[in-house]
Amino acid sequence: MKNRLLEVENLHVSFHTREGEVQAVRGVSLHIDHGETVGIVGESGSGKSVTAKAILSLIAPPGEITHGDIRFAGESLRGIPERKWRTIRGNRIAMVFQDPMTSLNPVKRVGDHLTEVIRRHRGLGRREALAEAVEMLRLVGIPEPELRVRQYPHELSGGMRQRVMIAMALSCRPELLIADEPTTALDVTIQAQILDLLKELKAKTSAAIALITHDLGVVAQVCSRVIVMYGGMVMEEGPVEEIFYRPKHPYTQGLLRSLPKRGGSSRERLSPIEGSPPDLRSAPKGCPFRDRCPHAMAKCGTMPPMVEVGEGHRAMCWLNDTDAQSDDHAGSGTEGGEGNGG
Amino acid sequence: MADEARPLVEVRGLKKHFVKGRDIWGRPTSVLRAVDGVSFHIRKGETFGLVGESGSGKSTVGRCILRLYDYTDGEVRFDGQDLSRLGDKQLKPFRRRIQSIFQDPYSSLNPGMNVLELIGEPMNIHGLYPGKEERAEVIAGLLEKVGLKRDHLYRYPHEFSGGQRQRISIARALSVRPEFVICDEPISALDVSVQAQVVNMLEDLQDEFGLTYLFIAHDLAMVRHISDRIGVMYRGRLVEVADSDELYDNPLHPYTQALLSAIPVPDPRAEIRRIRYEPHDWTGEPAELREVSPGHFVALS
């Protein structure tokens, strides 16, 4: 437990809407170590972005953190005053959002975006801050940064704007960078450049990166550890090789199997996961994946435990619970043993 | 399954220029060449994939074929007939035979109409199944074909998930028995776990109704999966056209190479071995497409 940078324990986030309480995050526990790159994978509604916002205390009404603890560098972040948050948010924990088109102020120059952050958090003067801003733009691979600081966001392409966002996030040398779908709005060739940049930054700086995405290809490319979320919960977590080559949760297995095979000829039939994600307005009891799971059994009506299935590899499924398997076989209609993933 | 004899769709020298600015006399001062001389054909029963980055003109090509835009130059032939010369009235039968599915199932369905009305609307326009009961029966049958249920008939779009809404859009497109369907990014707004369902369904419907598809997308792995042949667009021009396996195994144009090598692969070990080509390696003059091996065309000077 020595290396933990961030620890989230049993986090619950709810949104109070007219249709009732929507439990977007239902008991998420995860950790991020110093200097590692963790992929948080899930589809829309899985709770991945809400978890990220909760870490930065950016949940606004009607949303609310109803339960759980978040510790950063050993200190709890729950309930600390907004004044103290300002020394953490943007400074020690920084975030990059999905849409580079709307996250920059259109009437401010690129340089002003950067110097605002640098002057506020690092207390530099105007001139030093501008020099630092130029350096940051150079670091993220923007050509002619001296000219770019004078330009407005609309004069930059999408990829360049996302680089500016990353430069802003990194300008205070954060210990943790949370990137929420940083490449989803970009073209594949630009995406590849941004991912290369993240890989490079991993080598150059000591920041830990939490990369939130729905794209398993992106995860395979940059992450060393993966957390798979579904229905507001963590389904499986483990080292990237374990998750891709030895997935233990039926959801992870299904997700990997539903992708078109590489090298396989075209027109080979895909194997989708049937059904659709659960409606969190009336969150199902027990495993959230139960309705779509090919291995569903009677026992899945109660919440499965998180079981250690390998070195640092855990999955939340009754299939991996050896005690449960031996006494539940008789009662299950459709159990199918270990699925083979990939 | 493709019929060699005559292509169903032929696009020749298609150009679509948008006027960006005019001077005070109304003369154009700047022009965006969204599509700048594109030619290809689609055989009956096949799926032609069109890929390229945003702004490459791939969606504009689709919209020109639908005649949602009047194009600047070139011609689009459907079943031998040049669509560019037809007026609204003569075009109407072709508007039935050519249908489209769009990317965003949230904005492409009228929220004030129920499923019966949504799917019935194109039938109204083209005067199909005028009998009330017969129509409800046909629509219920279509719903079952796209994996929805009969009792969804009187529900409204907000009651459905994104994947289900896209199924409604597909049923709506199929309601007038089209021959050719333009699918413009039909799965990119859907959840990963739902995309494969919709792709499988599109393939089943193609086999059942003998449909021809133009599949426009930026998810290159999925395009390879669904397409028989693929065209790669770059800055308003086609730079390479080939059978999909040939294109992925043996890309010749530097831009195609850069594009294909940029696809992230969901396999960590393969990721380490992957060789990346940079797109700026290529700064050639636009060239005409030339056939370098049977069915493989590339634009290199």
The lowest-confidence range among A168-182, A313-327, B51-65 is A313-327
Q: What is the pLDDT of residues A190-240, one digit of tens each?
A: 888 888 888 888 888 888 999 999 889 899 989 999 999 999 999 999 999
Determine whether the interchain pair A43/B193 forms a contact, defined as Cβ–Cβ distance below 8 Å.
Answer: yes
- Identify the residue whose tokens are 């103290």: A84
A291: left (phi over 0), alpha (psi -120 to 50) or beta: alpha
Q: Quick one: how far is CA A23 from the chain centroid?
A: 18
DSSP per position, A22-87: EEEEEEEEEEEETT-EEEEE--TTSSHHHHHHHHTT---TTEEEEEEEEEETTEE-TT--HHHHHH
The answer to whether the CB of A272 falls within 8 A of the CB of B200 is yes
For testing the chain A interface, which of B148, B267, B275, B278 should be mutated: the one with the most A CBs within 10 Å? B267
pLDDT at B110 over 50: yes
Closest CA to B226 of A260, A258, A267, A264: A267
Q: What is the pLDDT of residues B39-58, one digit of tens each?
A: 999 999 999 999 988 888 89
pLDDT at B4 over 70: no
CB proximity A44 to B under 8 Å: yes
Minimal-distance CA residue of chain A relative to B264: A217
Q: Which amino acid is at A270?
A: L
Pick the CATH number of A1-86+178-261+271-342 from 3.30.2270.10, 3.40.50.1000, 3.40.109.10, 3.40.50.300: 3.40.50.300
The answer to whether the CB of B214 falls within 8 A of the CB of B48 is yes
Determine whether the interchain pair B228/A266 forms a contact, defined as Cβ–Cβ distance below 8 Å.
Answer: yes
Nearest to B268 among A45, A240, A254 (CB): A240
Rounded to the nearest angstrom, the minimum Cα separation between B132 and chain A is 32
CA distance A92 to A246: 35
% of chain A surpassing 70 pLDDT: 92
> Domain residue spans in chain A?
1-86+178-261+271-342, 101-171
CA distance B223 to A75: 48
User: How much is the pLDDT for A325?
Assistant: 52
Nearest to B245 among A215, A262, A265 (CB): A265
CB proximity A200 to B under 8 Å: no
For testing the chain A interface, which of B47, B56, B225, B250 should be mutated: the one with the most A CBs within 10 Å? B225
pTM assigned to the model: 0.84
Determine whether the interchain pair B164/A44 forms a contact, defined as Cβ–Cβ distance below 8 Å.
Answer: no
β-bridge pairing A233-239 and B28-43: unpaired
SS3 content of chain A, % helix, strand, coil (to 5): 35, 25, 40
| CB contact residues (below 8 A), chain B span 119-158, against chain A | none
CA distance A259 to A257: 6
Minimal-distance CA residue of chain B relative to A193: B262
Provide the mean pLDDT of chain A: 85
Give whole-number Cα distances, B10 to B6, B13, B40, B42, in Å: 9, 10, 6, 6
CA distance A167 to A177: 11
pLDDT at B137 over 80: yes
Q: Which amino acid is at A85?
A: W
Which residues have a Cβ under 8 Å from the Cβ of B266 and sit 6 or more positions away? A216, A217, A219, A220, A244, A256, A259
Q: What is the pLDDT of residues B240-278, one digit of tens each?
A: 999 999 999 999 998 898 888 888 888 888 776 667 766
> How high is the ipTM of this complex?
0.79
Determine whether the interchain pair B271/A265 forms a contact, defined as Cβ–Cβ distance below 8 Å.
Answer: no
Q: Mean of the pLDDT values across residues B109-121?
A: 93
- Pair of tokens at residue B150: 């009969």
CB proximity B161 to A under 8 Å: yes
Rg of chain A over all Cα atoms, to the nearest angstrom: 22
CB proximity B195 to A under 8 Å: yes
3 state DSSP class of A131: helix
CA distance B120 to B255: 44
CB proximity A182 to B under 8 Å: no
Determine whether the interchain pair A192/B262 forms a contact, defined as Cβ–Cβ distance below 8 Å.
Answer: yes
Rounded to the nearest angstrom, the minimum Cα separation between B79 and chain A is 26
* Range B7-298: architecture per CATH: 3-Layer(aba) Sandwich (3.40)
Determine whether the interchain pair B264/A267 forms a contact, defined as Cβ–Cβ distance below 8 Å.
Answer: no
pLDDT at A337 over 50: no
